A and B are shown apart, each in its own frame.
Chain A
Amino acid sequence: MTDTVAAADVLVGDQPSRAGRRLPLSWLGAVPFFAYVGVFLLLPTGIVVFEAFFTAAGQPTLENINALTTSVVIQAFIKSITLSLISALLGAALGAVLAYMIASGPPDGMTRRLWTAAAGVLAQFGGVTLAFAFLATAGPVGLITLAVNNLGGDLTGSWLTDLIGLIVVYTYFQIPLMVLVFLPALDGIRPQWREAAESLGGTGWQYWRHVAIPLLTAPFLGAVLLLFANAFAAYATAAALISQGGIIIPLQIRIAFTSETVAGQENVAKALALGMIIVVAIAMSLYAMMQRRSARWLR
């Protein structure tokens, strides 16, 4: 302990002259990071944003942006937003119920530990594996499909690779994500507040109506926005489930991206990507706003 103090004293005494000599060069230590991020994060983002307004030959153009107004792309945007919104609302509602069930148990209990671990794992369960899991469940020869058919129902058909199927599959990873983001908010609601409400003669309904729900509104809306962005940005699951076609925007980008060699279409993928950036940016900035609001009350 005394050694540390002595060393610190030496350093402090030493500081002015050394600092004076070294300060101009200290920024060098941050160069590798900024160079890397510049080349592999800012440059690609810049390429998407700027080249969306240029032809392959480098001429400024609005043709690529015009491609966003074709009916196919508008349909895809509508379907993407519908999918993201419905899966976000379903995921948020069901996830909030699940989170409440988890939070109302003992804070250090096995149930809670198991469920938070499971939610962490399931929220990241996506892509090809998730698509496979649902094909094995509800595909033409899936577990549920066969079970329903045996019972006399009819689940065959291509609903899984349609918008409704995507909503079901996306909700599967939205619910656990909701649990992860909403549990801290529920934990922030102190049991003392309920006791205070009860000791003042409030009923359970009044407690929820005037205390819990107003407190949880901002975190809940924030979570809906986060889930929306999460679903809107998702590509891998849909791509593995639907091998052709472009019912949602990420799949439209796949089509435009793989046919970039077609003359005049080179930068359409970038315009579509720019459209995605704008939607996600709006959702995420509203999310940040909600987070600031909930930070006032919780934690």
Chain B
Amino acid sequence: MAAMTTSPIRQAPGLRARKARRLRLIRWFLLLVFGLIFAVPLVAMIEFSTRSTDLTGPRTLEYWRQIVDYPDLISAIFASLELAAITAIGALVLLVPTMVWVRLRLPKLTRIVEFLCLLPLTIPAIVLVVGWAPIYLWINYFTPAQYQTSPLVLAFAYIVLVLPYMYRSLDAGLQAIDVPTLTEAARSLGAGWTTVMVRVITPNIASAVLNSSLLAVSLVLGEFTVASLLNYVNLQVAMNNLQQANAGVSIAVASAALLFVFILLIALSFVGRRRRSGGVVEPFPSGTGH
């Protein structure tokens, strides 16, 4: 009996150390392989956009320099940036007061608000486009002629697309603070509701506001489905249109946009880290970005 119990214990350290070393080796090897696989398409893009003739010519930044020679592309970039800002602000204005108000006065509506906010996750963007088409006909009908082609009206649709991500992020932010006490304190000191929202609640959920805005911006900059099917030109549509005429420049723009969104999302993962230990950016299911 004694021999039976002691032998595994005596044996264990050496065995375990060897096993651990082997596991560490496998771990590093596999992580390296995965890393390389994920890097290939990104490297290919950079290669493609920095070689003069496809992948065989000498290295040059000509394609990157030529980006400014395409006015349609430049205006599409600005349109997408404006859209991103409008969408983020619009969604914040819609969500923050509603979520605070529901918490304070209409707790019975919490479930239904959450359900509605998360609903776009289960309805593919391509499906929503089909339903938005007649609504956009109406919007066009009421838009003055000179703004008919402006892609900025897409913000109405984009606010719906960003709802789930912004809701989750803001909900986590509001859960971390004591909304009723803060509001009551402010109200009893004579603050109006606007002051409560803008100067009391918002500063207290600043990181959630920033987090959700960055998510919205990254989503809007990558949006293609809605814009292309409703015939508006945003960054992604312009890039896609340019593909036939000049693949090099279109891939250069795509790399630049991707780099920008990467930086944004990495910044986001550090903003979010304080609250969520994993520092994980919320996934975007249901093909919103794909």
Which residues of A pack against B, CB within 8 Å? 3-4, 7-8, 10-11, 26-27, 29-30, 32-34, 36-37, 39-48, 94, 97-98, 101-102, 104-105, 111, 113, 115-130, 132-137, 141-144, 146, 170, 172-173, 175-177, 180-181, 183-184, 187, 201, 226, 229-237, 239-240, 250, 253-254, 257-258, 260, 269-270, 273, 276-277, 280-281, 284
Q: Please, what's the 1-or-0 string for B253-278, where 1 marks a CB less than 8 Å from any CB in chain A?
A: 01001100110011011000000001
Query: What is the bound-complex CA distance between A105 and B31, given in angstroms?
Result: 11
Does B173 interact with chain A (Cβ within 8 Å)? no
CA A111 to CA B155, docked complex, whole Å: 38
A239, B285: Cβ atoms under 8 Å? no
Q: Are B44 and A142 in contact (CB under 8 A)?
A: yes
On whether A124 and B129 interact (CB within 8 A), knowing A33-B113, A180-B280, A280-B122, the answer reads no
**Measured between C-beta atoms, what is the minimum distance from A157 to chain B in Å?**
18
A106, B261: Cα distance in complex, Å: 28
Question: What B residues does A284 contact at CB under 8 A?
Answer: 121-122
Pick the contact of B254: A132, A172, A236 (CB < 8 A).
A132
Interchain CB contact under 8 A, A26 and B106: yes
14 A-B contact pairs sorted by A residue (CB < 8 Å):
A40-B132, A43-B135, A101-B30, A113-B279, A123-B284, A137-B45, A143-B43, A230-B285, A233-B285, A233-B287, A253-B130, A254-B229, A260-B133, A276-B127
Nearest chain B CB to A50 CB, angstrom units: 10
CB of A48 within 8 A of CB of B44, answer no
Inside 8 A of A118's CB, which chain B residues have their CB? 38
Residues of B at the A interface (CB closer than 8 Å) are 8, 23, 27, 30-31, 34, 38, 40-45, 47-48, 54-56, 94-95, 97-98, 101-102, 105-106, 109, 113, 116, 119-135, 156-157, 159-160, 163, 181, 184-185, 187-189, 218-219, 222-225, 228-229, 236, 239-240, 243, 247, 250-251, 254, 257-258, 261-262, 265-266, 268-269, 278-287, 289-290
What is the total of A-B residue contacts with beta carbons within 8 Å? Answer: 285
Contacts of B125 in A (CB 8 A): 233, 235
Expressed in whole angstroms, the minimum distance between the Cβ of A93 and any Cβ of chain B is: 13
Give 15 A-B pairs besides A229-B285, A236-B236, A260-B133 with Cβ atoms closer than 8 angstroms: A41-B116, A41-B163, A47-B130, A102-B31, A117-B265, A117-B266, A129-B258, A183-B278, A232-B287, A233-B125, A237-B290, A250-B126, A253-B130, A257-B130, A257-B133
A127-B236 contact given A41-B160, A113-B279, CB 8 Å threshold: yes
Query: Which of the residues A129, A137, A258 comes within 8 Å of B44, measured between beta carbons?
Result: A137
Known: A122-B38, A230-B287. A29 touches B97 (CB 8 A): yes
Q: Which of B127, B163, B257, B266 touches A273 (beta carbons < 8 Å)?
A: B127
Cβ of A124 and Cβ of B281 under 8 Å apart?
A: yes
Please, which residue of chain B has its CB at the minimum distance from the CB of A27?
B106
Is A48 within 8 A of B159, CB to CB?
no
Contact in complex: B120, A41 (CB < 8 Å): yes
Q: Which residue of A lies closest to B230 (CB)?
A: A257
> Given that A30-B109, A41-B116, A136-B44 are known contacts, is A121 also in contact with B123, CB under 8 Å in the complex?
no
B131:A280 contact, CB within 8 angstroms: no
CA distance A181 to B285 in the complex (A): 10
